[in-house]
Amino acid sequence: MPQLAPAADAMPRSGIRRVMDAAWKLDRPVIGLHVGEPSFDPPTHVVAAAEAAYETGDTHYTPNAGVGALRSAIADKLRSHNGLEVSPDQVVVTAGGAQALHVAFTATLTAGDEVLIPDPGWPNYTMAVGLLQAVPVGYSLRPENGFMPDFEELERLVTPRTRLIVVNTPSNPLGSVMSAEVVEALVRFADRHDIWLLSDECYDALTYEAVHTSPARFDGQGRVLSAFSFSKTYAMTGVRVGYLVSAPEFAPTLAKLQEPMIACVNAPAQAAALAALTGPQDEVVAMREVYRTRRDAVMAALDTLGIHYLTPHGAFYLWLDVSDRTDGDVATWAVRLLENEYVAVAPGTAFGPVGEGWIRLSLAADTDDLLEGVRRIGDFR
């Protein structure tokens, strides 16, 4: 009997999905604080643009790299919001930010290459790298370093097989935002070791009391690949539109890779994305302010309960220290919390071993659910 490819069989299942599966099996409603799914619908003009595309028959193939008008609008956004001078030809429209990352990994990695990945970090990095038979190597983001990279550790982790470093700011799961100085230092680190830097900027529009800095601002050698998404900014998670940006000389190859992967992003979704970028942005601002209000309310509740946490300055997550109650196994504790209190959280170890003793709460959940969930967490040991 034929066997599946070893890399496919060995790919770990997301620890977040494990919690989701367990929550779906329960016989009563669960307060879901485990998923980064905005509690909003996309802006009405975004939905209307997709509907209009279907109604007018705009449902055919598009160029591999995406519709020209959307790529131009993305280039305008990158110039005004990210401080990047980018031509539309440097933009490849992808099926969400996850596929943008996969294109970047596919273009840069060969079997056995090593990839420096943040720990804690989004688990899909490890999964995607492993599928390509490359080797994920975690670099730690610890409280004693302010949850910022330890450059001495990074230097120790580099080997002749190191090919790429992943940088994620604002961070999922931490909600931390790297300063311009740290971002530039990471680019200089990549310069010194002649490796790629893949920048995941899925949450670039969601910052509070902090400024987002794109690593490509400091890239003079074309080594930074930048991945973005419409999912979180515009509450378009199921629409699946993102984009990947590279130096001009690499963009044609990245676009070419779209053909065997997805051919192209569906045309109505691109129409929705174009409307999102070129239409009014007031709903984006309003959603961000709701996340900020939720963050402040939850932090106040946690202060009352005496639970330590990292103050998030970006994204929509809160990173909580529950090590005083998990007995060194936060994944098992999270399952017990779900089964006893009907509250679903993402255990820190879903994001890497450094996450032991921590949990991630999603501020994308309803405010009342958040506060009730926090109350139950405070009561549970």
pLDDT, tens digit, 9 for 90 and up, residues 364-377: 999 999 999 999 99
Over residues 197-206, the pLDDT tens digits come to 999 999 999 9
Residue in 375, 346, 342, 379 with CA at minimum distance from that of residue 361: 346
Over residues 20-29, the pLDDT tens digits come to 788 888 888 9
Over residues 125-143, the pLDDT tens digits come to 999 999 999 999 999 999 9
Predicted model pTM: 0.96
Over residues 157-195, the pLDDT tens digits come to 999 999 999 999 999 999 999 999 999 999 999 999 999
d(CA 245, CA 74): 10
d(CA 90, CA 99): 16
**Average pLDDT score over residue span 27-51:** 94
Helices (H) and strands (E) in the chain, counts: 13, 13
Over residues 51-79, the pLDDT tens digits come to 999 999 999 999 999 999 999 999 999 99
Which is higher by pLDDT, 155 or 24?
A: 155
- Which residues lie closer than 8 Å to 184 by C-beta, 6 or more apart? 218
The rounded mean pLDDT for the chain is 96
Share of the chain above pLDDT 70, in %: 100
**Average pLDDT score over residue span 14-18:** 82
d(CA 120, CA 33): 18
DSSP per-residue letters across 128-192: HHHHTT-EEEEEEB-GGGTTSB-HHHHHHH--TTEEEEEEESS-TTT-----HHHHHHHHHHHHH
d(CA 83, CA 55): 37
